[in-house]
């Protein structure tokens, strides 16, 4: 596995993300029998989204409604979604908050009284 040291720098891209600069001379090679890539920042929607009529944006993120009464409802009305799969990579606190908001949307969809957000 070849490694190189990076630092944030340069002008941010259109999404606002800063570029990582490579630092020549910091390369290192580590011998390994197998390498498991265990992190990622891009959506990987499963095949069953298509079967369930859950539409995606071109970048692979899930489309959700912005209408106040159907917030976070996908194009399959029985499926609500929020978090990184909708917003893109963010923070745990954002995912928790939006999970609660999506739950409020589910309660409204079911005709149950939505409790106030905490
Ligand atoms: C490397 C890395 C480091 C990070 N560090 C931080 C940090 O320091 N602080 C911070 O606040 N945030 C951090 N984040 C971001 C944070 O982890 C995410 O924003 C947050 O976890 C998003 O929550 P989520 O519920 O949207 O998605 P996830 O946490 O990704 O949850 C989705 C879940 O769905 C499961 N799943 C997927 N497909 C299926 C399926 N077909 N059936 C059943 N289950 C399925 C997955 O296994 C997963 O458990 C980091 C993210 C990465 C990738």
Residue whose CA is at the smallest distance from ligand 1 atom 28: 84
* pLDDT the model gives residue 90: 87
Q: What is the Cα–Cα distance from 6 to 8, expressed in whole angstroms? A: 7
| Ligand 1-lining residues (CB < 6 angstroms) | 39-41, 46, 83-85, 90-92, 95
Asked if 87 contacts 94 with a C-beta cutoff of 8 angstroms, the reply is: yes
Q: What CA–CA distance (Å, rounded) separates 105 from 84?
A: 18
Q: Whose CA is nearest to atom 24 of ligand 1?
A: 83
State the pTM of this model. Answer: 0.72
Ligand 1 mean position, distance from CA 43 (Å): 10
Question: Relative to the CA of 83, which ligand 1 atom is closest?
Answer: 26
Confidence band, pLDDT 50/70/90 cuts, at residue 37: confident
**Residue 18: pLDDT band with limits 50, 70, 90:** low
What does the mean pLDDT of the chain come to?
85
CB 101 within 8 A of CB 115: no
pLDDT computed for residue 114 by the predictor: 58
Which domains, ranges and CATH numbers included, belong to the chain?
A: 1-35 (no CATH), 37-118 (3.50.50.60)
Nearest protein CA to atom 10 of ligand 1, as residue: 91
Ligand 1 closest atom vs CA 41: 53
What's residue 12's pLDDT?
A: 66
């Amino acid at each position: 596995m070849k490694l190189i040291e990076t630092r944030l720098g340069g002008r941010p891209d259109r999404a606002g993300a800063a570029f990582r600069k490579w630092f020549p001379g910091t390369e290192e090679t580590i011998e390994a029998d197998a390498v498991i890539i265990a992190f990622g920042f891009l959506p990987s929607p499963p095949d069953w989204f298509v079967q369930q009529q859950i539409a995606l944006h071109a970048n692979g993120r899930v489309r959700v409604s912005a209408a106040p009464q159907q917030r976070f409802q996908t194009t399959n009305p029985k499926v609500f979604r929020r978090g990184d799969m909708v917003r893109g990579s963010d923070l745990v606190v954002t995912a928790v908050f939006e999970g609660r908001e999506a739950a409020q949307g589910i309660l409204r969809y079911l005709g149950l009284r939505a409790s106030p957000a905490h």
